[in-house]
Amino acid sequence: MLQGKRAIITGSNSGIGLGVAEELARAGADVVLNSFTDRAEDHALAADLAKRHGVSARYIAADMSKGADCRGLIEKAGGCDILVNNAGIQFVAPVDEFPAEKWDQIIAINLSSAFHTTAAALPGMRAKGWGRVVNIASAHGLTASPFKSAYIAAKHGVVGLSKTVALETAGQGITCNAICPGYVLTPLVEAQIPDQMKVHGMDRETVIREVMLLRQPSRQFATVEQIGGTTVYLCSPAADQVTGTTISVDGGWTAL
């Protein structure tokens, strides 16, 4: 379905970004992976995707906390038809103790990077009359929790940016939407399970259900494959008129 389309996925050497790249490649898109590191294993991820899906794939190192790097990523890739803004970090502290440098870093990586990459990618999409911008926001783009002020401000910002870009590109063959995942079982989340089991004296299933997924009514994690599949849907003809909206993949969290 996506043969001949080039997708850039920021922050895609692990977790959701890598899962999205996998599903886009499975659908036939050429993919550009990214993170701030430049290791042999990063490039090997791209080679593996290319081999398994018969698409072209490359890895481009660029630091999404820096505006020039964000714009440089789009330029080095030769533009893109599909842009997935996924890079993100988290830090947890009460707002009056929140380190200012952490606030700045989270706003830069989780929000401003999407502004820079989108600004750099749109002219190429307009020239082709087709483009998809998919922003990986969060249930925290629609609702809040304590101690995550920067992350929640950034994710609400991503939702607002998505709506604005949708209005500015409406009728031009370009759509822009935000996917809002609840808890997704990524390596990062998986690594927290043993500690939580110890702290709470619970087995794996109980700690997942009663502690980690307390706010997710399904009491099941979303998967990177599901976020990837939602991205592929947004790139399909069925979603041509889906723009400026959010799609929650959160097991009912935001219905509460």
Q: Which residues bind ligand NAD (CB under 6 A)?
A: 11-17, 35-36, 63-65, 86-89, 109-110, 136, 138, 181, 183-184, 186, 188-189
Q: Are 66 and 105 in contact (CB under 8 A)?
A: no
Active-site residue, 59 included = no
| Shortest distance in whole angstroms from residue 90 CB to ligand NAD | 7
**Cβ 93 to ligand NAD, closest distance in Å?**
17
For residue 23, CA distances in Å to 20, 31, 134, 190, 233 come to 5, 10, 14, 21, 10
Q: Residue 237 Cβ, how far from ligand NAD at the closest point, in Å?
A: 26
Of the residues 59, 151, 183, 233, only one is catalytic, namely: 151
Q: Closest CB to ligand NAD among 36 and 130?
A: 36
What CA–CA distance (Å, rounded) separates 95 from 200?
Answer: 26
CB of 19 to ligand NAD, least distance (A): 8
Closer residue to ligand NAD in complex, CB, 28/72: 72
- AA letter at 207: V
Q: Which residues pair with 59 in a beta bridge?
A: 33
Nearer to ligand NAD, 27 or 108 (CB): 108
Which is nearer to ligand NAD, 126 or 215 (by Cβ)? Answer: 215
Residue with tokens 């940016």: 161
* Residue number with CB closer to ligand NAD (119 or 189): 189
Least distance to ligand NAD from the beta carbon of 240, Å?
A: 25
Residue positions annotated with a catalytic role: 151
